[in-house]
Structure 1
Amino acid sequence: MQNTETIHIGLIREEKIPHDNRVAFTPLQCQWIQQHYTNVRICVQPSPHRCYTDQEYIDAGISLQEDLSHCHILLGIKEVPKEKLMAGKTYLFFSHTKKQQPHNQAMLQQIIEKNITLVDYECLVHADGQRILGFGFFAGVVGAHNGLLAYGKRTGLFNYRPVHTCHDLQELIKHYFGIKLPPLKIVITGSGRVAAGILEVMGMLGIKYIPPEEFLINSYAYPVYTQLKAGELYLRKSDKTYSREDFHNHPEKYECRFLPYVTAADILMNGIYWEERIPPLFTWNDLAKDNFRIQVIADITDDTNGSIPCNLGDSTIDNPIYGVNRITRHRTPPFQKGSVDMMCVSNLPNELPRDASQYFGDQLMKYVFEDLLQEESEVIANATIVKKGQLTERFAYLEGYVHSSS
C-alpha cells in the first residue's frame, strides 16, 4: 500500500461469543488518526456490545458502516469466527494460533483458504524482543481488585463492588474512598505488566510494601504486601543462582522457593509467567497441610493446573470466584471452610474495557501504526503469521497444525 493513496481501515465488530467489549481504537483516537494522516479513512462496524457506543464514534466524526468490504486493513481484538472472515483482507487481532491451539485450527485454515494476511498483535515486538501490545496491566488491576473482593466476602470484613459495574477506572478509584482494609498480608509474584497493574492497586489503596525477608517473619497492624520477582522465586538447583536467559532456556534446572510464603500470606496474587517445564509455586500436598495460610488466590496469569496446581479452570466475570477443597481437591462453592478461594478469570481486562482500549490504542498508534501503512516493515513482517494465504517462513512450523484433521 502506498502512502499516497487513501488507505481504508475498518474496526470490526467482535463476533466471538462471549462478546468482548474492547476495541483497537477509541473514538478520539480514530479522530486523531484521521486528522494527522490525511490519506487514512476509518470506518467502524456498528456494535451493541462495544464499550464505546456507536454514537460516540459518530460524534467524533467517524463513519459507521456495516459493510467493510472496501477496507484494506481490518482491526479486531479477539479471534474472528471463520464464517465472518473476508477474503483477501489484512487482519490484525489476537489469533491464539502460534501455540497450535486446537480450537482455532479451523479459523487459521480459513485464513489460508481465503488468501488473507494475518498479523497477530501478540507477535508484535520491539527490537529487544519485548512485546509492544498487551492488556496485562489492566488484567493486573482487575485481578488484584477481585482478589481483595474475594477476601472481603470470605471474611466479612469489608465489601468491594465488582469492577465491571464501574464505568471506568476513575469510578473504581472513587469506590475505594473510605473503605478501610483490615491487617492482611499479600504476596505478589512477577515483574511484568500484570505485576505493574497489581502494584497500581496496592498504591491506590495505600497498602505498604515490605521486603520479602521481613514479610516472612513479622506481623503488622495494617495491610502489607511483598513482591517476588523471578530471581527471588527460582534458583538453579546446582549452585543456587539465577540467570534470566538460562532460566528461560532451562527452567527444569531450577527449583521454586515460594513455599515459605504459604505460611505467611493471606492472599496470593499470581502474575508470573509460566510454561510446563517451570516448577509450580507449591503442590497439592502443601495445600493440604495445616500451616497453609493463604485463603484467596488471584491467579491472574491463569494457567489451568499450571503454576497454581489448584487452578481447576476458568471462572467468569459474572462469577469470578470458586472454592477448591484442600483435601479432596474438588471444586466447591466459594467461601467454604476447608477450602481455598480461586479467582481465575481469563478475560480480566474486559471488566475495564474503556481504559484497556484506550491504553491499547495508544500503544498501537505510537509503535505500530506507521509501520502498518508502509509497503515493507520488519515489525509487521515478524508478526505476520499468514501472508496472502501462505504461512510465512517464521511460522512455517504451523504447517502440520494447519493440515492435520482434528
Structure 2
Amino acid sequence: MTALHLWLRHETRTTERRTPLVPSDARRLIESGVTLTVEDSPQRVCPTEDYAAVGCHIAEPGSWVTAPRDAVIVGLKELPDEPAALIHRHVLFGHAYKGQPGASALLRRFLAGGGTLLDLEYLVDDTGRRLVAFGYWAGYVGAALALLHHRGRLTAPLRPTSKEELDERLRAVAGEARALVIGALGRSGRGARVALGVAGADPTCWDLAETRDLDRPALLDHELLVNTVLTTSPVPPFLTDQDLDDPGRRLRTVCDVTADVGSPLNLLPVYDTPTDWDHPVRRLREEPVLDLIAIDNLPSLLPLEASGDFSAALTPLLLDFEVDGAWGRCRERFDAAVRELGAGEGKPSDG
C-alpha cells in the first residue's frame, strides 16, 4: 500500500489562526510512516519552523494545487475560488450538504476534477457522534464575548488571545447574569457554561428535553442567550422576527455559536449574514435593544488551545486513514450529496 501523503495547506481566510495539525502530532504521523508537507503560513498559530524541525517538508502557500494527485489536502475553512476543478481528496469543513450558499458550486468543482470532499463535520462514529470538533472552544469563546459585550466591555476589532488572558477579562466583569445556554449538554454548550462560570454566572441550561416543547416566554425572559445547537433535521426556530418585536422581551444579547447562516435549518433565522472580528456585534433591534454576535470561526480567537485539542483528536484518525470506518462514512456522505445534485450514480475517482 502506498504511504499516505498529507498536505497541510495555508488558510486563505486572514482571520484563521488555527491548524488541524500541531507540530507534536505531525511528528507522530511522520514517525508512523506518513509523508507530511506543510505550506508556509505566517498567520498559523504554530510557526512553520516547528514543523520543519519534526521532519515536515515545507512548501509555498497555495501550492497544494500542484501537489501529487494522491496527496490528501488537509485544511479547515473554505477553499479559494480557483482551481475550478478539484482533483485531490480534501479534508476540511466544507459546509456543502445543507443547501448553504455556494454549496452546489463547491461540489461541482469536485465533480469536475474527480476529487472528493471528506467533510470534517461528517467524520463520525457508527452512532453518528462527531469525532473531531472545535465545539468546546467555540462555545467558550462565544459565551465569553457575549458576556463581555453584555457588560459593555467588548472592544473591536477582536484579536487572538490565550485562555488565561480571556479568563482574566471575564473575572473582571464577574457577577450574576440572567443567561440561557441552549444545547447545554453538548461540547459547545459545555464550553459556554464553563466560560460563564468563570465570570460568576450560573446560566439556565436547556437541551433536547427543553427544546422539544420550547417555552418561548421563558426564553425571552433571559437577558443573554447562547445558542450552541446545530441541527441536521427540520426543527421549529428558537427565535423569530416576531419574538424580536415583543415589547416585553428582556433578551438583550444573543450569541449564535453555530452561525448556520443561509441554511434552511438555521434555528435563529433572524439575521442573514454573520458578524466578524472587525464588527463582532450587530444590532437587530433598537427598542428594546437586541444585539447579535454570530462569528463563524470563534475558536480561532483561542487558536493554540483549540488547535491542540483538535489535532489530538484528528491524528489517530489520520493514522487509520485508509481504513473504511469513519472515513468511509465521510465518503458515503459526499457520494450522497453528489447524487442529490443530480449527477447520477457514478462515483468520482479517489485520485
Q: TM-score range by the shorter chain?
A: 0.7 to 0.9
Instruction: Tell me which of 338, 353, 362 is aligned to 2:303.
Output: 353
What residue in structure 1 maps to residue 176 of structure 2? 183
Query: Distance in 2 between the 1:102 and 1:401 partners?
Result: 19
User: Does residue 381 of structure 1 match 2:328?
Assistant: yes
Corresponding pairs, count:
336
**In structure 2, do the counterparts of structure 1 residues 114 and 322 end up closer, same or farther at CA, with 3 Å as the change threshold?**
same
SS at match of 1:233: helix
For residues 122-271 of structure 1, the aligned pairs below 5 Å read 122-153=121-152, 159-160=153-154, 164-177=158-171, 179-190=172-183, 191-208=185-202, 225-235=203-213, 256-263=214-221, 265-271=222-228
Q: Could you list the per-position Cα deviations for residues 10-54 of structure 1 after superposition, in whole angstroms to 9, with x for gaps in the alignment?
A: 101123x4553222101121122223x0x2121101112222222
Instruction: Tell me which of 17, 24, 30 is aligned to 1:21.
Output: 17
RMSD between aligned residues: 2.9
For residues 3-152 of structure 1, the aligned pairs below 5 Å read 5-15=2-12, 17-18=13-14, 20-35=16-31, 37=32, 39-66=33-60, 67=63, 69-70=67-68, 72-84=71-83, 88-152=87-151
Query: Distance in 2 between the 1:45 and 1:283 partners?
Result: 44
Q: Could you list the per-position Cα deviations for residues 84-129 of structure 1 after superposition, in whole angstroms to 9, with x for gaps in the alignment?
A: 4786432211222222434143332232222223322122111111
Query: Distance in 2 between the 1:76 and 1:399 partners?
Result: 24
Query: Distance in 2 between the 1:276 and 1:202 partners?
Result: 29
What residue in structure 2 maps to residue 242 of structure 1? none
Instruction: Tell me which of 314, 318, 331 is aligned to 2:274.
Output: 314
**In structure 2, do the counterparts of structure 1 residues 44 and 313 end up closer, same or farther at CA, with 3 Å as the change threshold?**
same
Question: Displacement, 1:278?
Answer: 2.0
**In structure 2, do the counterparts of structure 1 residues 301 and 258 end up closer, same or farther at CA, with 3 Å as the change threshold?**
farther
Question: Displacement, 1:229?
Answer: 1.2
Amino acid at match of 1:371: D
TM-score normalised by L of structure 2: 0.84
Question: Displacement, 1:370?
Answer: 2.7
Query: Distance in 2 between the 1:77 and 1:49 partners?
Result: 14
TM-score normalised by L of structure 1: 0.74
Query: Distance in 2 between the 1:52 and 1:280 partners?
Result: 39
Q: Could you list the per-position Cα deviations for residues 245-291 of structure 1 after superposition, in whole angstroms to 9, with x for gaps in the alignment?
A: xxxxxxxxxxx22322322x221111223468422334434433332
Amino acid at match of 2:204: T
Question: Displacement, 1:205?
Answer: 2.8
Question: Displacement, 1:6?
Answer: 3.6
Q: Could you list the per-position Cα deviations for residues 157-177 of structure 1 after superposition, in whole angstroms to 9, with x for gaps in the alignment?
A: xx3567953432233234445
Query: Distance in 1 between the 2:231 and 2:109 partners?
Result: 31
State the identity as a percent.
23
Larger radius of gyration: 1
Question: Displacement, 1:352?
Answer: 1.7
Unmatched segments (≥5 aa) in structure 2: 345-351
SS at match of 1:81: coil
Query: Distance in 1 between the 2:139 and 2:284 partners?
Result: 22
**In structure 2, do the counterparts of structure 1 residues 75 and 129 end up closer, same or farther at CA, with 3 Å as the change threshold?**
same
SS at match of 1:383: helix
SS at match of 1:165: coil
Amino acid at match of 2:22: T
What residue in structure 1 maps to residue 314 of structure 2? 364
Query: Distance in 1 between the 2:313 and 2:23 partners?
Result: 15
SS at match of 1:323: strand
C-alpha contact 1:267 1:294 (8 A) present in aligned 2: yes
SS at match of 1:144: helix
Query: Distance in 2 between the 1:395 and 1:310 partners?
Result: 27
Question: Displacement, 1:382?
Answer: 1.4
C-alpha contact 1:120 1:385 (8 A) present in aligned 2: no
What residue in structure 2 maps to residue 218 of structure 1? none
Query: Distance in 1 between the 2:246 and 2:287 partners?
Result: 14
SS at match of 2:258: coil
C-alpha contact 1:317 1:351 (8 A) present in aligned 2: no
